[in-house]
Structure 1
Amino acid sequence: MNAQGHAKGYWYGKDPGRKEIAVGVLNALRDYRTSEQAMRRRTRSSMLMGEKDLLALRYLFEAEADGRVMKPKDLGERLGITSASMTTLIDRLVDSGHIRREPHPTDRRALILRPTPASDEEVRHTLGGMHRRMLDVASALSPEESRIVVEFLEHMREALDTVDEEPGSTGGSAGETHPS
């Protein structure tokens, strides 16, 4: 175990060819994810909201910033939830004053969802300091360092997104092989 409580390469096998620095990078990434998850729990607790509620607000803020409208169906697809769950989520966010339903600007039969100004203020108040600190850290990187970090994270995302596409896999767990 090291000072951070990580076993040296526990998850990555006992291959002596593994570079210690690579395992250190993966452990740092794991520590970051742990901190991010803890921050999300604190935010949900502070705002008295569930994870999907906060994610819905994020998508609505993004759509508004981009000048797009968001229908309940669109939001449900982004969140990966059923229409019944979407209705419950919308009712909860409307009742709490975080979003409002409005008529669609061009389709009289449809409704759109918009975050309320109070919701925007609450999110900015709750997360503003953390976002500024994160931006400060990212801004301290040189353009070359930024490019390297972005490429690394994109490659890590690709590695995670393709876990079920391992050669010889037919949808089983990663690392399982099945005879042809």
Structure 2
Amino acid sequence: MVLPQSDGSGYWYGPGGQLDSGAAVLKALRDYRTAEQSIRRSTRDSMGMGETDLLALRFLLRAQASGETVVPKDLSRILGITSASTTSLIDRLVASGHVRREAHPTDRRSVIVVPTVESDQEVKVTLGAMHRRMMAVAEDLSAEEARIVVQFLSHMASALGEQTTSPEIS
């Protein structure tokens, strides 16, 4: 493996600006995160949404795909925001045409939050090509390589002290 060279300005570079293998892995992970943050920012901008709005929409689309209903309290819990912030979030998503409120099927006092068909299509158009490129890279891994990557990323998540899975835009 050829290790990346650097100008030596980073704190983890060895003598001569060369990375050791562990530092090279962390640099690659950092480069991935930078690229991911950039595409998220671009997606948010193109959809006219903030990060929390996009995370909420992603959660709602996943729930809908698995046949689950979502009440506002579910959004509060998964996003870690107050009920007042959740109400504002839902109001924004309703106003932008991304979700609608519907009567709860079994609790007349409650409402569910449902993504619109248009928002599902918009997400597919906006993120579809990127997802296909990412899937092609992942599918190109051998079973052993995939096992190692999954194990590594799981260990990294543990090292960061991650206790719960937060909704992500992939």
TM-score normalised by L of structure 2 = 0.86
The one-letter amino acid paired with 2:77 is E
Percent identity over the alignment? 61
Cross-structure match for 2:112: 112
Residues 17-56 of structure 1: pairs in structure 2 closer than 5 A: 20-56=20-56
1:161 deviates by 1.1
- Cα pair distance change 1:149/1:90, threshold 3 Å: same
Total equivalences in the alignment? 155
Cross-structure match for 2:165: none
What is the CA–CA distance in structure 1 between the aligned matches of 2:116 and 2:8, rounded to whole Å?
Answer: 44
Structure 1 residues not aligned, in runs of 5+: 163-180
Structure 2 residues not aligned, in runs of 5+: 163-170
Pair 1:85-2:85 in alignment = yes
Pair 1:67-2:67 in alignment = yes
What is the CA–CA distance in structure 2 between the aligned matches of 1:75 and 1:4, rounded to whole Å?
Answer: 43
Query: Which contiguous aligned blocks of 4+ residues in structure 1 show a shift greater than 3 angstroms?
Result: 2-8
Q: Deviations over 1:129-155 (max 9, x none)?
A: 000000000000011100000000000
1:76 deviates by 1.0
Structure with more relative contact order (C-alpha pairs < 8 Å, separation 6 or more): 2
The one-letter amino acid paired with 2:60 is L
What is the CA–CA distance in structure 2 between the aligned matches of 1:6 and 1:48, rounded to whole Å?
Answer: 39
CA contact (8 A) 2:12 2:23 kept: no
What is the CA–CA distance in structure 2 between the aligned matches of 1:125 and 1:4, rounded to whole Å?
Answer: 37
CA contact (8 A) 2:100 2:116 kept: yes
The one-letter amino acid paired with 2:121 is E
1:66 deviates by 1.2
Residues 154-169 of structure 1: pairs in structure 2 closer than 5 A: 154-161=154-161
What is the CA–CA distance in structure 1 between the aligned matches of 2:120 and 2:7, rounded to whole Å?
Answer: 38
Matched residue SS, 1:161: coil
- Cα pair distance change 1:35/1:105, threshold 3 Å: same
- Cα pair distance change 1:145/1:101, threshold 3 Å: same
What is the CA–CA distance in structure 2 between the aligned matches of 1:140 and 1:35, rounded to whole Å?
Answer: 20
What is the CA–CA distance in structure 1 between the aligned matches of 2:150 and 2:115, rounded to whole Å?
Answer: 30
Matched residue SS, 2:101: strand
Cross-structure match for 1:166: none
RMSD: 1.8
The one-letter amino acid paired with 1:77 is R
TM-score normalised by L of structure 1 = 0.81
The one-letter amino acid paired with 2:74 is D
CA contact (8 A) 2:44 2:50 kept: yes
